[in-house]
Chain A
Amino acid sequence: MTFKAPVQDFATDWDHTDPRWVANPYPIWDDLRERCPVAHTERYGGGWFPTTHEMVSEIANDVEHFSSRLVVVNHNKFPEGAPPAPMGGAPPITSDPPFHQIARRVMLPALSPGVVNALEPQIRDLCAKHLDALKGQEYFDAGSQYAQFISPGVITRMLGFPEEDEDLFREFVHLVLDLIDLPTEQRVPLFEPLVQYFTKQIEDHLENPRDDFTSYLLNVQVGGKRLAPEHVRGTMVLTLVAGIDTTWSAIGSSLWHLASHPRDLERLVNEPEIMGLAVEEFLRFYAPVTMARTLKDDFEFHGCAMKKDDWVLLGFPAANRDPAAFEDAGQFIIDRAHNRHAAFGLGIHRCAGSNLARLELRVAIEEFIKRFARFELADPQAVTWAQGQVRGPRNIPIRVGS
């Protein structure tokens, strides 16, 4: 870890890893939206942070000036050997048009609502299995003992890997998240076991094709040709990285909210018909994912002189709190009827896994409150939040009531 100077003013020196931003970013964003509304920083080699829904939407839709080649802000921009555009390291999220469309079209049929909805019984069983393990306990951690098991279980099954390897992915995701500040030369060797694991799984799937996402990627043809091996591997890694901590963060934030807002918990228990609306409001209010872009060239954006290769932190969660786009934006309204939130992004990179993510979120909450109609935070001060571009509670210590 490198020492970082504390932020004096987020308007001119923002840092999304600052402890205040990590603990509670919403007042900071509200303040910036009124004062700026695009904040700037010299950190990370220079970057911008737009805070209004309109600007976030404008940038997400402007693929001419803003590139997705790098989507995670870091100190080591464009290192030697960085995966080249247009594919990037994890297609389609790191791809720009026109390649992006090819990589995205490959994934979409496998994640369409028809395919994904068939997984509901499996997901319910998975939730039930982890809830069974909590039976009889008055105190437990709804994060590390529940939420963080659901998405690794689902993704492992989707990719067609052995169920007992779930833990490997939980560890891998922790690695990606927690060691974000390590220099590249120290991080890369840590990924070696995972690279080998993927190689083994790909070989196994080539020998024994089956009905799962890995076999699908190995066989799918674009223009009469199979995908390049690095494309298959990149998309598998992306599925793991994009599908796991995002979703466990959403489940975790939702359970944290219910544990600290007894009236909302009671309503959800008594009025299961509002679950669909509640899921969208959880997603709006606690949108876990912030993505980045880099500038393709110098560009003047609403009076900001953006420079080639500058970062733009694309705050979908900040857009979701913009009063110009949402009535009572700062309030959580469990049955909000008009909710055009951007938790899954906007424009051509709309989360390809959103159908699956919603299903997991809904089923995980439904099963949880079926078992525990009453629960509360056992120690509100003990809850800490993940730093970086995916926000969610690391731990949710709760006490269940009778």
Chain B
Amino acid sequence: MKVVIDRELCQGHGRCFSIAPSIFDFDELGNGVVIGDGSLDENTVEMARLAQANCPEHAIFIEE
């Protein structure tokens, strides 16, 4: 499983990296970025889902 941020949709609300700082970070404009290759395991997938459920722009996708 992998998490990705659609850079076209992200507007930098900053919810993902506040909720799940081990999975997401921000770039110099404050837009969200995925740390590393975004691979998720059973310990991190819930956090990624929570971030997804709070993204106002629906910019986070989890690929099974």
Contacts and interface: CB of A to CB of B under 8 A. Distances in A.
Nearest to B26: A113
Contacts of A350: 11-13, 56-57
Contacts of A346: 11, 56-57
A98 interface: no
A341 B56 contact: yes
Nearest to B30: A112
Contact of B29 (A105, A280, A340, A348): A105
Nearest to B12: A350
Contacts of A25: none
Given A113-B14, A113-B17, A347-B57, 18 more contacts: A105-B29, A108-B28, A112-B26, A113-B26, A113-B30, A114-B26, A280-B15, A280-B54, A337-B53, A338-B50, A339-B54, A340-B54, A340-B55, A340-B56, A341-B56, A350-B56, A350-B57, A354-B12
23 contacts: A108-B29, A108-B30, A109-B30, A112-B26, A112-B29, A113-B14, A276-B18, A280-B15, A337-B50, A337-B53, A338-B50, A338-B53, A340-B53, A340-B54, A342-B56, A344-B13, A346-B56, A348-B11, A350-B11, A350-B57, A354-B13, A355-B14, A358-B14
Which secondary structure characterizes the binding site on chain A?
Answer: helix
Which of A338, A340, A341, A344 has the most chain B CB atoms closer than 10 A to its own CB? A340
A114 B25 CA distance: 10
A378 interface: no
A338 B56 CA distance: 10
A111 interface: yes
B56 A112 contact: no
A280 B28 CA distance: 23
Interface string B35-57: 00000000000000010011111
A276 B11 CA distance: 20
A108 B12 contact: yes
Which of A105, A337, A350 has the most chain B CB atoms closer than 10 A to its own CB? A350
Contacts of B12: 108, 350, 354
Interface of B: 11-15, 17-19, 26, 28-30, 50, 53-58
Contacts of A341: 56
Contacts of A280: 15, 54
A336 to B, nearest CB: 10
A109 B54 contact: no
Interface in A342-368: 342, 344, 346-348, 350, 354-355, 358
Chain A to chain B: the 8 pairs with minimum beta-carbon distance, closest first: A112-B30, A350-B11, A108-B29, A338-B53, A340-B56, A109-B28, A113-B26, A108-B30
Nearest to A343: B56
B13 A109 contact: no
